[in-house]
Amino acid sequence: MSTVPIEDRASQVQTMIHPTLNEEIEIFHPTFMQSSHFKTNFPVVGIAALPPTPKALGGDIFIIGSPKHHLFDAALREETEDTVPVSILRLRPFYYVFNRLTKENDKIYIVDDPRLKSGTRNNREGTPERKRWWEAMPVWTGVDFGAGAGGIAVRDTGNEVVIMGVGGGTVSAIF
Amino acid sequence: MRLLVVSYPENIDEGVVEVIDYHLPPASFLTNVFGIKHTERGGELSYVATIKSAYFTSPAGIVAVKDQPSLLSELDTHAIPSFYLTNTYQGSGLSRRIIEQTLSVARGDLVFYNAKAEGALRVGFGMDRPHAVATDDSESGRRVYVSTQAGVVNLFEQFFVDSVTPFKRIY
């Protein structure tokens, strides 16, 4: 099997007859692979992402959930409004690259960093496949969400990043 | 004007996706008495469509993308967006209760609904009760993040691989 990726969506486009309009259309069914994952110590009930900056490995993502999820679960079942702690985390993708000078691992956040070209088997300037890591930063932790965490939305306004989380009838905006 | 999509389980065995049109308030303008005048359709929600599919087994999360919206016609004047949807469980009835809930076999999946083709396909599977879904590329969904109730966040990336095996003749 060829391992050379075809970075060309046009080659994957298929034609078909539209089911109701009865005309030929071009469609693209995306193929996915699960490239990485990470695990938290609480069920993640909401997730939102920012568009990536031009050279970033991917957009920052924001997750919301309750470290005391059993309280959230009990509040839902009993329809009570117990106070449930909620956490919002910001996650940023990076690669670890071993630095031969400092003998330590450097964190690389952009795709064109020359340190990523550490060499492959037949190419001294090659870029090897690397595992993607996620840097987690708590954005907010508190009990202002009433009966627990719900959805989360995030928007970069240019000057600041606005994060909105909802849960237990409360909407909190964080700047 | 923009379209919102909402998913929810219709009953224990299947779910639906509602497409709702949200009319952004038109630019308010100052009248000659310095008041603010709103037009009739400012900020209202209106129903557009309901989409059913055998792939929507127990929808939990949904995210829409701009890529490949439905084709407009004389009858359909709203372009429905394509979207990604997570199913908490894949099976239904007894199989769901025994295999997925009792034995905790991870069978939740990620489904892509192609509005242009009016069809769905499964693009990710084997997840433990997936819930919310998001993408950092609202144009075409090159990277899709799926969170699960087990506390795992999965990253799915689109890839383009020549899947045709080169034929090698051996003499």
* SS3 of residue A71 by DSSP: helix
Q: What residue in B sits closest to A9 (Cα-Cα)? A: B160
CA distance B62 to B45: 18
Residue ranges of B 98-117 with Cβ closer than 8 A to chain A: 110, 112, 114, 116-117
Give the per-residue pLDDT at B34.
38
Query: Which of A28, A44, A66 to probe the B interface (max B CBs under 10 A)?
Result: A44
ipTM: 0.81
**CB spacing of A49 vs B124 below 8 angstroms:** no
Please give the residue of chain A at the shortest CA–CA distance from B139: A51
Residue A1 falls within a domain, yes or no?
A: no
Would residue A3 count as lying in a domain?
no
Question: Is the pLDDT score of B32 beyond 70?
Answer: no
Of A27, A38, A46, the CB nearest to B116: A27
Which CATH number is B2-157 given? 2.120.10.30
* Per-domain residue ranges of chain B: 2-157
To the nearest whole Å, the CA of B33 is away from the closest chain A CA by 33
Whether A14 has a pLDDT exceeding 70, the answer reads yes
- Cβ contacts of residue B137 below 8 Å, gap of 6+? A51, A52, A59, B65, B143
pLDDT at A49: 92
**What's the structural domain count of chain A?**
1
Mutant choice from A40, A45, A47 vs B, greatest count of B C-beta within 10 A: A47
pLDDT of residue A109: 92
Integer Cα distance of A44 and A57 in angstroms = 22
Contact B118 A20 (CB under 8 A): yes
Q: How confident is the model at residue B91 (pLDDT cuts 50, 70, 90)?
A: confident
Bridge-based pairing of strands A104-108 and A86-99 is: antiparallel
- Residue B1 pLDDT greater than 90, yes or no: no
Q: How far is A104 from chain B (nearest CA, A)?
A: 27
- Read off the DSSP letter of residue A27: E
Q: Which residues of B touch A51 (CB under 8 A)?
A: 136-138
pLDDT digits (tens, 9 = 90+) for A143-175: 766 666 778 888 888 888 888 777 654 555 565
B29 pLDDT higher than 60: no
User: What residues are paired with B130 via a beta bridge?
Assistant: B148
Query: pLDDT, tens digit, for every residue of A27-83?
Result: 888 888 888 888 888 888 889 999 998 888 888 999 988 887 777 777 767 767 677
Cβ pair A43:B150 closer than 8 A: yes
CB B67 within 8 A of CB B139: yes
Contact A5 B159 (CB under 8 A): yes
SS3 content of chain B, % helix, strand, coil (to 5): 5, 45, 50
Q: Among residues of chain B, what percentage have pLDDT more than 90?
A: 16
Residue B145 pLDDT more than 90? yes
pTM assigned to the model: 0.79
Set of chain A residues whose Cβ sits within 8 Å of the Cβ of B118: 18-20
Neighbours of A68 (CB within 10 A): 18
Task: Tell me whether residues A32 and B123 touch, CB distance under 8 A.
Answer: yes
* C-alpha to C-alpha distance for A53 and B141, rounded to whole angstroms: 16
Q: What is the mean pLDDT of chain B?
A: 76
Query: What tens digit of pLDDT does each residue of A85-132 get?
Result: 888 899 999 999 988 888 888 999 998 888 888 888 888 888 888 888
Subunit contact A47:B137, Cβ cutoff 8 A = no
Distance from the B95 Cα atom to the nearest Cα atom in chain A, whole angstroms: 24
